[in-house]
Structure 1
Amino acid sequence: MNNNKKQPVTPFGWAIKQKLVERQLDQQTFCELYQIPPSRLSNLIHGTRKAKRHRRLVSQYLGIQEES
């Protein structure tokens, strides 16, 4: 049986999604362009891992203000 429970999206995750929509990029294309593992982007969107280095990179690439 496939127990596929989705984690809720964090405020930072919504910011990522919004910026991707504004740039007309899907997550896969964004990851390919910037060499970010798709699993890391997912971790950031759902808050399942800190992934500080990738969080910083994604913030820079998308122009998202990071909360301290």
Structure 2
Amino acid sequence: MAERKPVLGPTPSHPELDRLLEQTRHIKVSEADLLEQRISFAYGNAPHSSNVTKESVRDATKTILIG
């Protein structure tokens, strides 16, 4: 078998990104923010030709969560 060359080289330095990541590392996400992210994810993954709106996804989550 042929010897493989490493695909990735050394990790580039990004001090500004590292600083921002460190600042946000301990921030807790609220349940409301998490729910809004889930709604946005579901809406964003709905077919564009459908009649799905962000509000209809929000209504559906209420039905699902209340059950």
Return the TM-score normalized by structure 1.
0.25
Q: When the two structures are superposed, what TM-score results if normalisation uses the length of structure 2?
A: 0.25
| Higher RCO (C-alpha under 8 Å, 6+ residues apart) | 1
